[in-house]
Amino acid sequence: MDSKNFIRFLSFTFIITLLLLTLTNLPLTNKAIQQLDCTTNSPQCNRRFIKQPPKPTTRLHSSDVPHHPLDPLTLTEITKTRSILLSHALFANKNTYALHSVVLEEPDKSVVLKWNHGNNLPARKASVIARINGETHVLTVDLATGVVTPLDVGYHSGYPTMTIEDMTSSTWAPLENPDFNRTIMARGIDLKDLACLPISLGWYGQKEENRRLIKVQCYSMEGTANFYMRPIEGLTVVLDMDTKQVIEITDKGRNIPIPKAAGTDYRFSAQNKKINLINPISLEQPKGPSFVVENDHLVKWANWEFHLKPDPRAGVVISRAMVRDPNTGEKRNVMYKGFTSELFVPYMDPSDAWYFKTYMDAGEYGFGLQAMPLDPLNDCPRNAYYMDGVFAAGDGTPYVRSNMVCVFESYAGDIGWRHSESPITGLEIREVRPKVTLVVRMAASVANYDYIVDWEFQTDGLIRVKVGLSGILMVKGTSYVNMNQVNEPENLHGTLLSENVIGVIHDHYVTFYLDMDVDGHNNSFVKVNLKRETTESGESPRLSYLKAVRNVAKTEKDAQVKFKLYDPSEYHIVNPSKLTRVGNPVGYKLVPGGTAASLLDHDDPPQKRGAFTNNQIWVTPYNKSEEWAGGLFTYQSQGDDTLAVWSERDRDIENKDIVMWYTLGFHHVPCQEDFPIMPTVSSSFDLKPVNFYESNPILNIPPNVEQDLPVCSAASSA
């Protein structure tokens, strides 16, 4: 319809446009990273500075084949899954199905561990979550035999992750309702300037049960691309996501003005005053990158090797991470699988248009589905390798999310290790090693917010997982234009960021699944508690000192950890049956970064659903079907299938195949610098070898020398 065409309604992901764009891209291998000879000041080298770098483009993926048991479903396999399903009796009435997830059903861990390069692949199977006639089904599709097996996952409240089509159609649906149009126009908004968002509504009791609901809130795009800063405050549409029927329209913000457009656009092209404080910067690798990506998914760099795949729900999945021992040359297991299991983002405003904003971005929206193509030279440096996501749309047809993940070597000018001698020793020693790391990066844009997730591998065996928050705040309209009008600032629920704009206080919790297998899969979780000891009178001039006391966790409850600054511990995952030369169990420790804990009441409905954030660490026995901390079906869930519920079983975890869960948390009280877009805020945690190696594993790596790093000077002309 013509009238619809000029209304620039936005869905989260512009998926339709992307779909068309990616499918019409010319095939070009990502591996064709240009390598120039930069060993001298050659003209070729100089050209780097004047030539546009090759843009990574997408392959069509139509001829992809799996090489590894963990390789994601290929485009062909997704197409095949769809055709097997459509000829199955369950799908007889083809109009009423949606596939909410189509991913590889990973073979059992024991099968993957036994598999070696060159062996036949184990049976390729798809794991499908489908809704058919309003019922949720979990199905396994054997791609070779065509057999479809329904899986009994028991009863759980909640619905599967929304499809992109659910989100897109929900933003359009209110327009079919004349009351909605009237309400918008009554707020002085031209319907052509409307932008609406599909907002998951959590779960708040019976009246929201037994149907799939969504709330829609809208913004004015007039005069800015940053419509998020122009909320039509207090207007909420409740929609039945299946029938697209408008159930309720609440408009409690009629007296709240729409904030102005001026100063909200963040695009470089929209800035009047452009400033250039620093010269262009880039990482030079005269001999090219040191990593390879074999068979599309196996990353090999320095002493590391791991399998990497994009995932529609988790974003990226790192599997089979192994590090080579410098003494024995042996590849040693560190982690079987690691990924972002869930995000929980509660906002701190109990009013009508805000209380329900308690997002779970992985289980509700799909963290990987929201990961947009990365921007070469800005998201990832030159020499990055780009990996595409191949996912299934709601009707089961495959599509390509191009350049969704990048892999690159990073040198930030940091030091790997160093020592220099003072002249008083008479020794002239200055030994330093530069720190070069390998980064796997994705960036999800879940509506307004952007999450950057990095898995960074270091040559000393450390893995750093970093989450960066950027993008645009979810803001609230207000009639206040200055703090001098506000009597009780704490009741603003946030910070006045600009005239009529409040940045609402919120938290972010990012929960990681870390299936550590340190030198094999029988591991134990050990809390190494730092305990103050006091001396006996006369024993020492000292009154107190610290002892490290090891406590091995026997069951799940022993491993539920809340951090305490004045009762600290180290958290080790050790292999009790593998000792170092001097008898310490080999291990890795979790080193938490800055973190925040959820302070919400445990009985508050969002905290029940997000109960996996009640502790910062949990350890569970490995169970293939316990991967999603917020439950398999997170949407509108009631919290009956979370990590907190599983852990209550208090199963044995000593000297067993165990999974560690860690939640990185942020409290965010917005400030004016976050307007109109946020400078990145980051936090990270480390998985660090602890008595894993016999000694410093990077003594034998060479320092940088001048002749390996020629200085390329900029050419004056082409």
Ligand X SMILES: *[C@@H]1O[C@H](CO)[C@@H](O)[C@H](O)[C@H]1NC(C)=O
Tell me the residue type at 81.
Answer: T
**Per-position DSSP letters for 476-493, written without gaps between them:** EE-S--SGGG-S-GGGGS
Listed ranges 59-67, 540-548, 618-626, 709-717: which one lies at the site for ligand X (CB under 6 A): 618-626
Alpha carbon 525 to chain centroid, angstroms: 25
Tell me the residue type at 580.
Answer: T
Q: How far is the CB of 676 from ligand X (least distance, A)?
A: 28
CB atoms closer than 10 angstroms to residue 659: 25
Q: For residues 421-450, which are near ligand X according to CB under 6 A?
A: none
Listed ranges 70-78, 84-92, 174-182, 558-566: which one lies at the site for ligand X (CB under 6 A): 174-182
Q: How far is the CB of 48 from ligand X (least distance, A)?
A: 50
Q: How far is the CB of 629 from ligand X (least distance, A)?
A: 12
**Per-position DSSP letters for 219-272, written without gaps between them:** EE-TT-S-GGGSB-TTEEEEEETTT--EEEEEE--TTSPPPP-TT----GGG-S
**DSSP 8-state symbol, 652:** B
Q: How far is the CB of 2 from ligand X (least distance, A)?
A: 9
Choosing from 64, 166, 349, 361, which is the catalytic residue?
361
Q: Using the rule CB under 6 A, which residue among 181, 250, 397, 584 binds ligand X?
A: 181
Side-chain-side CA neighbours of residue 241 (13 Å): 28
Q: For residues 658-687, which are near ligand X according to CB under 6 A?
A: none
Q: How far is the CB of 428 from ligand X (least distance, A)?
A: 50
Residue 327 vs residues 304, 333, 519, 585, 586: alpha-carbon distances, Å? 15, 15, 15, 17, 15
Q: Applying CB under 6 A, does 138 fall inside the site for ligand X?
A: no
What residue has token string 């549409």?
237
Q: Applying CB under 6 A, does 626 fall inside the site for ligand X?
A: yes
**Nearer Cβ to ligand X, position 10 or 715?**
10
Specify whether the CB–CB gap between 429 and 419 falls below 8 A. Answer: yes
**Nearer Cβ to ligand X, position 529 or 555?**
555
361 is catalytic: yes
Contact string 282-301 vs ligand X (x = CB under 6 A): --------------------
Specify whether the CB–CB gap between 343 and 362 falls below 8 A. Answer: yes
Whole-angstrom distance, CA of residue 461 vs CA of residue 456: 10
**Nearer Cβ to ligand X, position 433 or 609?**
609
Listed ranges 48-56, 100-108, 173-181, 333-341: which one lies at the site for ligand X (CB under 6 A): 173-181
Q: For residues 40-99, which are near ligand X according to CB under 6 A?
A: none
Choosing from 336, 449, 571, 662, which is the catalytic residue?
449
Whole-angstrom distance, CA of residue 12 vs CA of residue 300: 35
Tell me the residue type at 402.
Answer: S
**Nearer Cβ to ligand X, position 151 or 715?**
151
Q: How far is the CB of 625 from ligand X (least distance, A)?
A: 4
**Nearer Cβ to ligand X, position 235 or 293?**
235
Listed ranges 231-239, 363-371, 376-384, 621-629: which one lies at the site for ligand X (CB under 6 A): 621-629
CB atoms closer than 10 angstroms to residue 703: 12
- Select from 407, 410, 369 the least CA-distant residue to 385: 407
Report the C-alpha dihedral over residues 366, 370, 371, 373, rounded to 10 degrees: 150
Q: Tabulate helix, strand, coil % of the chain (nearest 5).
A: 15, 35, 45
What residue has token string 């949990």?
618
Q: How far is the CB of 438 from ligand X (least distance, A)?
A: 29
- Select from 530, 512, 533, 534 the least CA-distant residue to 464: 512
Q: How far is the CB of 314 from ligand X (least distance, A)?
A: 18
φ/ψ (deg, to 5) at 539: -70, -35
Q: Using the rule CB under 6 A, which residue among 37, 108, 176, 431 binds ligand X?
A: 176
Alpha helices in 102-146 (DSSP H): 109-114
Helix or strand run (H / E) with residue 525: strand 524-534
**DSSP 8-state symbol, 71:** P
Q: Applying CB under 6 A, does 552 fall inside the site for ligand X?
A: no
Q: Using the rule CB under 6 A, which residue among 520, 576, 593, 710 binds ligand X?
A: 520
Whole-angstrom distance, CA of residue 202 vs CA of residue 628: 17
**Nearer Cβ to ligand X, position 587 or 592?**
587
Listed ranges 138-146, 172-180, 277-285, 452-460: which one lies at the site for ligand X (CB under 6 A): 172-180
**Nearer Cβ to ligand X, position 178 or 205?**
178
566 is catalytic: no
**Nearer Cβ to ligand X, position 156 or 382?**
156
Q: Applying CB under 6 A, does 625 fall inside the site for ligand X?
A: yes
Q: How far is the CB of 523 from ligand X (least distance, A)?
A: 9
Whole-angstrom distance, CA of residue 696 vs CA of residue 336: 24
- Select from 363, 372, 416 the least CA-distant residue to 628: 363
Tell me the residue type at 147.
Answer: V
Q: For residues 241-260, which are near ligand X according to CB under 6 A?
A: none
Q: How far is the CB of 357 from ligand X (least distance, A)?
A: 26
Specify whether the CB–CB gap between 241 and 165 falls below 8 A. Answer: no
Q: Applying CB under 6 A, does 127 fall inside the site for ligand X?
A: no
Alpha helices in 161-213 (DSSP H): 164-172, 178-186
Using CB under 6 A, count the residues that bind ligand X: 17
Strand ranges in 252-377 using DSSP code E only, listed in sequence order: 291-294, 298-301, 304-311, 315-324, 331-346, 358-359
Q: Using the rule CB under 6 A, which residue among 98, 139, 175, 659 binds ligand X?
A: 175
Q: Applying CB under 6 A, does 178 fall inside the site for ligand X?
A: yes
Tell me the residue type at 690.
Answer: V
- Collapsing DSSP states into helix, strand and coil, what is residue 73? coil
Q: How far is the CB of 576 from ligand X (least distance, A)?
A: 10
Q: Applying CB under 6 A, does 646 fall inside the site for ligand X?
A: yes
What residue has token string 């309702």?
177
Q: Using the rule CB under 6 A, which residue among 19, 191, 486, 701 binds ligand X?
A: 191
**Nearer Cβ to ligand X, position 449 or 628?**
628
Alpha helices in 529-640 (DSSP H): 605-609
Q: Using the rule CB under 6 A, which residue among 76, 397, 522, 684 binds ligand X?
A: 522
Whole-angstrom distance, CA of residue 204 vs CA of residue 19: 35
Q: How far is the CB of 184 from ligand X (least distance, A)?
A: 8
**Nearer Cβ to ligand X, position 176 or 708?**
176
Q: Applying CB under 6 A, does 356 fall inside the site for ligand X?
A: no
Q: Applying CB under 6 A, does 7 fall inside the site for ligand X?
A: yes
Residues that bind ligand X (CB under 6 A): 3-4, 7, 175-178, 181, 191, 520-522, 623, 625-626, 646, 655
Residues forming the active site = 361, 449
